[in-house]
A and B are shown apart, each in its own frame.
Chain A
């Protein structure tokens, strides 16, 4: 695995706004997060709009042949990726609540998530 030795630590934010499975964006975004973990940067994930569907619990892709990458979210803490934020407005607009999600997240309204945007330095959108 490639290691970063620049000594620079930046605040990365991954903004996830797409639903899983219909397209590969969410899946390949998660691959970026896993690789990024090796670089010892400050990492946060924000799930906004349809991105909240990525965290819906009980996903089973046996019938559609795609990879069930949703299980990987549960392993993120082993990679020291612990800052997962879900936008409250997006969750509520989709009739979902915290109990519907597969992992521990912090649910914040956009007015609070804004602060995370303010602090972040590098934005990746998938």
Chain B
């Protein structure tokens, strides 16, 4: 079965991101396909490669990157939400004339249409948020 997942909260601030991670891990283990993981609201902050959590804590952005590498996940940050919150990839950096980018590997920035498309294409849509 194809699952679409929406994550609306930032890492560390709220359990949503951890719950989503555990859910996705379990869904993959059960043989389901993750059609897309879409990050909205402060959820886009999951995609920063500049996070440096204490060594005894989980590294949430790295964990996403590793899971995506292992299972070829499509991790999408909403462009409008990302622009507001300073989440920038190479393309956004050039377009908006910023002096840096900060997006982690395996994440990409795209439009809200990607969320709607997930709602249309996925068999199940689940949201983790506040």
Specify which chain B residues have a CB less than 8 angstroms from the CB of A36 in the assembled complex: 112, 116
In the complex, number of A-B residue pairs with CB atoms less than 8 Å apart: 61
Docked CA distance A97–B112 (Å): 33
Q: Are A4 and B8 in contact (CB under 8 A)?
A: no
With beta carbons under 8 angstroms apart, the residue of B41, B113, B130 that contacts A28 is B41
Question: Is A68 an interface residue, CB under 8 A from the partner?
Answer: no
Docked CA distance A8–B123 (Å): 12
Q: Are A38 and B120 in contact (CB under 8 A)?
A: no
Mark interface residues in A1-45 (1 if CB within 8 Å of B CB, else 0): 110101010101000000000011100100110011011010000
From known contacts A24-B41, A31-B112, infer whether A4 and B117 are also in contact, taking CB-CB under 8 Å. Answer: yes
In the complex, what's the smallest C-beta–C-beta distance from B4 to chain A, in angstroms? Answer: 9
Q: Are A4 and B6 in contact (CB under 8 A)?
A: no
Docked CA distance A39–B111 (Å): 13
Count of residues in A whose CB is under 8 Å from the partner chain: 23
Docked CA distance A123–B129 (Å): 13
Specify which chain B residues have a CB less than 8 angstroms from the CB of A10 in the assembled complex: 119-120
Mark interface residues in B28-55 (1 if CB within 8 Å of A CB, else 0): 0000000000001100000000000000
Q: Is the interface of A mostly helix, strand, loop or mixed?
A: mixed
From known contacts A28-B81, A35-B112, A35-B113, infer whether A124 and B119 are also in contact, taking CB-CB under 8 Å. Answer: yes
With beta carbons under 8 angstroms apart, the residue of B115, B117, B121, B125 that contacts A32 is B115
Question: Is A126 an interface residue, CB under 8 A from the partner?
Answer: yes
Question: Is A125 an interface residue, CB under 8 A from the partner?
Answer: yes
- The closest CB in chain A to the CB of B117 belongs to A4
In the complex, what's the smallest C-beta–C-beta distance from A39 to chain B, in angstroms? Answer: 5
Question: Is A122 an interface residue, CB under 8 A from the partner?
Answer: yes
With beta carbons under 8 angstroms apart, the residue of A25, A41, A126 that contacts B116 is A41
17 contacts between A and B (CB under 8 A): A2-B117, A4-B116, A8-B120, A10-B120, A28-B40, A28-B41, A28-B81, A31-B80, A35-B111, A35-B112, A36-B112, A38-B113, A39-B117, A122-B119, A122-B125, A123-B125, A124-B125
